Amino acid sequence: MIDEFNIALIQTTLEWENPEANRNHFQKKIESIQEKVDLIILPEMFTTGFTMNAAPLAESMNGKTVIWMKQMAKLKNVAITGSIIIEENQNFYNRMVFVTPEGVIHTYDKRHLFTLANEQETYTAGNEKLIIDYKGWKICPMICYDLRFPVWARNMEDYDILLFVANWPEARIKAWDVLLQARAIENMGYCIGVNRIGTDGKGFDYVGHSGVYDGLGKSLLTDGIDKNTIYLATLSKLHLYEIRRKLRFLENKDFFKLI
């Protein structure tokens, strides 16, 4: 068991519908990280912003961004994750891609599409929950609007980390803060949320508030939460084991099956 797991959260602006500019921007950010980290987390749709203009921007799993992620993961010897627009079988997906330094790829397609922006009219919803076993840590990736659905996020698989990437606007940022903390508390696991900042091509403003909460809901980030910056945090497996052994709340959880 590896007790400590070091993460880097890149909270920054995004160039609207400009994949090349965003890849270059994130490459500079990633290359600037000198600390030893195990996982680098990028926001939702980090190459484009949260756009419904999928057709000209979508890539394949063999496209430039996935190739770039594999190159960066190998170069820095770190896992990298974030969501991008993928076209597959004539469908568009808001897909979270998790790439290891060895080039192993895991994917999760956003289940809850954001109907307020008519995301369901452009993208196809995923229907499978994913648990990634990386360096002895069980990681459950999810995307933005999934945060509002606690049943989907429920810790039925004894995961250690619940991970959200997002383009969550300033107008509802209080909900983001509260729900990230709630997901951590109710599932007795680390809950991480990575959001963007700046203004997108539709005029929506984003103020970040990326967060890392432990299994008791304590925030591990103490710096300003609205900066254009890279946040670092260290997670402890021993801490999880201790609070779960002492409090044992997960033993009383309801068991159910989603249909």
**Which one of the listed residues 59, 129, 140, 144 is annotated catalytic?**
144
pLDDT category at 225 given cuts 50, 70, 90 is: confident
What distance in Å separates the CA atoms of residue 146 and residue 73, rounded to the nearest whole number?
26
pLDDT of residue 230: 97
What distance in Å separates the CA atoms of residue 46 and residue 126, rounded to the nearest whole number?
19
pLDDT of residue 226: 87
pLDDT category at 1 given cuts 50, 70, 90 is: low
**Which one of the listed residues 15, 29, 70, 110 is annotated catalytic?**
110
- Is residue 182's pLDDT more than 90? yes
Asked about 70 being catalytic, the answer comes back as no
What distance in Å separates the CA atoms of residue 107 and residue 147, rounded to the nearest whole number?
18
Angle (deg, nearest 10), helices 64-76 and 19-31: 0
- Residue of 164, 151, 158, 256 lying closest to 213 (CA atoms): 164
pLDDT of residue 222: 75
Domains and CATH numbers, the chain: 4-252 (3.60.110.10)
What distance in Å separates the CA atoms of residue 113 and residue 97, rounded to the nearest whole number?
17
Claim: this prediction has a pTM higher than 0.95: yes
Asked about 44 being catalytic, the answer comes back as yes
The CA-atom distances, in angstroms, between 201 and each of 17, 53, 93, 190, 239 are: 8, 11, 20, 32, 42
Whole-number average pLDDT of the chain: 97
pLDDT digits (tens, 9 = 90+) for 139-162: 999 999 999 999 999 999 999 999
Please name the residues in contact with 30: beta carbons below 8 A apart, sequence gap of 6 or more.
10, 40, 72, 76, 80
- Is residue 249's pLDDT more than 80? yes
- Is residue 224's pLDDT more than 80? no
The first and second tokens of residue 228, run together, are: 């254009």
3-state SS, residue 82? strand
**Which one of the listed residues 44, 59, 119, 186 is annotated catalytic?**
44
Per-residue pLDDT, averaged over 205-230, amounts to 93
pLDDT digits (tens, 9 = 90+) for 158-176: 999 999 999 999 999 999 9
Per-residue pLDDT, averaged over 236-256, amounts to 95
pLDDT of residue 2: 76
pLDDT category at 257 given cuts 50, 70, 90 is: confident
